[in-house]
Amino acid sequence: MTQQEAIASGQVQMVVGTHAIFQEQVQFNGLALVIIDEQHRFGVHQRLALWEKGQQQGFHPHQLIMTATPIPRTLAMTAYADLDTSVIDELPPGVPPVTTVAIPDTRRPEIINRVRNACTTEDRQAYWVCTLIEESDLLEAQAAEATWEELKLALPELNIGLVHGRMKPAEKQAVMQRFKQGEMHLLVATTVIEVGSMFLTPA
């Protein structure tokens, strides 16, 4: 029995999937609940497609939508339509609070020194997240590769890694694994680390 057949027969009672489960060939046996994580990554018609899969069998699936960045349509529905909201305003037990501070680039040496102290004196790890992979003449933004070279010169006592979206998956995984195991003090990265990264030690 294939996975699709197991889902259609009801043998599989919970399905975790990507956009693939919206496809017409994926059928459910009594779809009762749809949980959509990161709602803004899915189109309206894609979400409706799942709801209709349940309707075809006489069900009206409940929908739970999770997002930290609600789209305008969802905001409007909370005000004018029948959409209940719940707010998660607490961190899981044991997770320290996060303090966010905006600091101008003119204080860059101070930030580098703070990273040095955190990684050496406090035995912590740190991310240095950049907008771009390479420097651009069009955008005034930090590039990961140039920042990595700069920080290696400024912090020779630290083991500094680099990860970005152009690296091969195996290379990215190897770097992230070394960072997770504590072999690196500082990881210079693009926003690629937003997906699948859950390390509690970086300060």
pLDDT tier at 195, thresholds 50, 70, 90: low
**Which residue from 120, 100, 96, 111 is spatially nearest to 201, judged by alpha carbons?**
96
Question: Are 76 and 124 contained in the same domain?
Answer: no
Residue 140, pLDDT score? 46
Burial zone of 80 (CB within 10 Å; 0-12 exposed, 13-18 middle, 19+ buried): exposed
Give the domain range for residue 139: 105-194
For strand 126-129 and strand 62-66, is the pairing parallel, antiparallel, or unpaired?
A: unpaired
Shared-domain flag, residues 130 and 180: yes
Tens of pLDDT, residue by residue over 172-186, are: 889 989 999 999 999
Residue 117 lies in a domain: yes
CB atoms within 10 A of CB 147: 19
Q: Which residue among 46, 80, 114 closes a domain?
A: 80
Is 8 contained in some domain? yes
Say yes or no: 75 and 116 in one domain.
Answer: no
Helical residues (DSSP H) of 133-195, grouped into ranges: 144-154, 169-180
pLDDT tens digits along 121-178:
999 999 999 887 665 554 445 688 999 999 999 999 999 999 988 888 899 889 989 9
String of DSSP letters for 70-134 = --HHHHHHHHHSS-------SPPTTPPP-------GGGHHHHHHHHHHHHHTS--BEEEE-SBSS
| Residue appearing with tokens 């894609």 | 46
CATH number, domain with residue 144: 3.40.50.300
% of the chain exceeding 70 in pLDDT: 88
96 belongs to a structural domain: no
Total domain count for the chain?
2
